[in-house]
Amino acid sequence: MSAMPPADHHATATFLGHPRGLFILFFTELWERFSFYGMRALLIFYLTKQFLFSDERAGMLYGAYIALVFVSPLVGGWLADRYLGARKAVLFGGIVIACGHILLGLDALGSDRESATRIFLAGMAVIVVGTGFLKANVSVLVGQLYPRDDMRRDPAYTIFYMGINLGGALGPLVCGLLGETIGWSWGFGAAALGMILGIIVFVMGRPLLQGQGEAPDPAWLASPLFGIPREYWLYTSALPFTAAMLALLASPATVGYLLSASGFAMGIGLVAYACLKLDPAARGRLLVAIFLLVVQPVFWGLFEQTGSSLNLFIDRHVDRTLFGITVPASLFQAVGPFSIFLLAPFFAWLWLKLGRRGLEPSTPAKFGLAIIQVGAGFLLLVGAGMMLPGAKMPMLFILLLYLLHTMGELCLSPVGLAAMSRLSPPHMLGLMMGTWFLATAGGNFMSGVIAAAIGASAGADQASTVLAAYGRIGGLAMLIGLIILIVSPRIGRLMQQGGR
């Protein structure tokens, strides 16, 4: 008789106390984030140096692209939940993302500018669609590896989050270095290769996923429609989806109008529902959630300057010489994710320590602290500019800005997601999570508007002009953050049984 282990032995085996499938998803997402952040680090430079876009036009396109990346998972997540299942959606999304990066690389090899622009926008649209299928569903798979009451779930997401930021740090280092020193196509090609590696890891690791993430109705999915399985018809939905994204990228302002209209309608609907349908305790918690949804775009609108106007500022006005070598500006994009990788465990410990002593700030107060810190980062640059008029700014001040912004992100992003799950009525949890990402998309689009306004200013290529704008937005952020801190005790009382 064979002494072979049961067929599901590898699926149920653990590593560091967690299902091995977690580490398949860890590396899948690591490589996806490698490709995304690698491309993001090059984007503003490619638009302004290769296509010779104005800072204003490049900033608007950047904001629209990042906003659509956050909106698209609403569509991909719905298709996965209803028809495809998370596993097939992740695999399809990864393939589509890789195709998008390949398109960017092909464009960078050279053609006339008009054709190249169309190819590049098409590549961006394809990446948006692929991200829609992959991004939300890979996170769903992490949760499905554990029973609902398993104490390992939270540590699992912490490990997964570390993979996200490790990929986010490596992408700019590799793609930025290749793109700025050898050629744009090398940088975009490296991003494509990263996603292909993620696909390979995911396919080879399928047995370790414990059969999770499969389609809710496999028989229906395999049944033919006009002689073709319905699964393949669902994949063709990516074509009109891509066409719609391409049209929006070609008209970035339209993205802003759509986000504003949908955000306003969603806000009115949520307030009306809270007032008419919920008991006082649930109403108070939902109103707090709505407040958080309203203020978080302020943070992202300033934070995402790192990929647009701040990237250009570093390229033009910062002394990037280190040991006689000029550091490519795109490499600075690695500082934020690397800082999160280092600081996230400290913040988790800090909130726990303060909570035990009854000193942990409320969720609204943490949001106020986040906005204050992102504003302080910009004011730090303004102060450095006043101390060193006419001179290129030392890299140290950029690193300190990233430190402040990263601490702000850790006060808002994980805290906000946890608050949505804690404050929302159970039957509205999916809707509120979707609304959170819609608000995040609005903040990212706002970042493009701010970058475009800075780029449209007279003398936008001068450090003094950019720093003057940073002084205004930094001061406004500090004021908004202080107001939130002042009103946070009153808002916190509305949370009642919702916790801190």
Confidence of residue 144 (pLDDT cuts 50, 70, 90): confident
**Structural tokens at position 459:** 């003398």
What are the residue boundaries of the structural domains of the chain, listed by start? 14-250, 252-500
| Strand positions, DSSP E, 340-440 | 393-394
- Residues 348-377, mean pLDDT to the nearest whole number: 92
Topology of the domain comprising 14-250: Growth Hormone; Chain: A; (1.20.1250)
Task: Write down the H helix ranges in 304-362.
Answer: 309-317, 335-356
Quote the pLDDT of residue 108.
Answer: 60
**Structural tokens at position 492:** 């916190």
- Residues 428-436, mean pLDDT to the nearest whole number: 78
| Res. 100: pLDDT tops 90 | yes
Quote the pLDDT of residue 4.
Answer: 40
What's phi and psi for 424, nearest 5 deg? -80, 145
Identify which has the larger pLDDT, 273 or 465. Answer: 465
What number of helices (H) and strands (E) belong to the chain? 20, 8
**Angle 280-303/463-494 helices, nearest 10 degrees?**
170
CA distances from 445 to 46, 122, 259 (A): 19, 19, 9
Domain at 252-500, CATH class: mainly alpha
| Res. 7: pLDDT tops 50 | no
Residue from 93, 99, 97 nearest 75 by CA? 93
Global confidence as pTM: 0.89
pLDDT in tens, 27-39: 999 999 999 999 9
Q: Which segment of 157-171, 289-303, 309-323, 369-383 scores lowest on mean pLDDT? A: 157-171
pLDDT in tens, 182-213: 999 999 999 999 999 999 999 998 888 888 88
* Fold equal for 14-250 and 252-500: yes
| Res. 282: pLDDT tops 90 | no
Q: Which segment of 65-69, 160-164, 203-207 scores lowest on mean pLDDT? A: 160-164
Confidence of residue 335 (pLDDT cuts 50, 70, 90): very high
The set of residues, in sequence order, having a beta carbon less than 8 Å from that of 307 and lying 6+ positions away, is: 40, 41, 43, 44, 62, 66, 333, 447
Sign of CA dihedral 159, 431, 299, 306: positive
Q: Which segment of 19-23, 43-47, 295-299, 364-368 scores lowest on mean pLDDT? A: 19-23
- Pairing relationship of beta strands 393-394 and 318-319 according to DSSP bridges: parallel
Quote the pLDDT of residue 500.
Answer: 46
CA distances from 312 to 323, 328, 494 (A): 22, 11, 43
Cα-to-chain-centroid distance, residue 186: 24
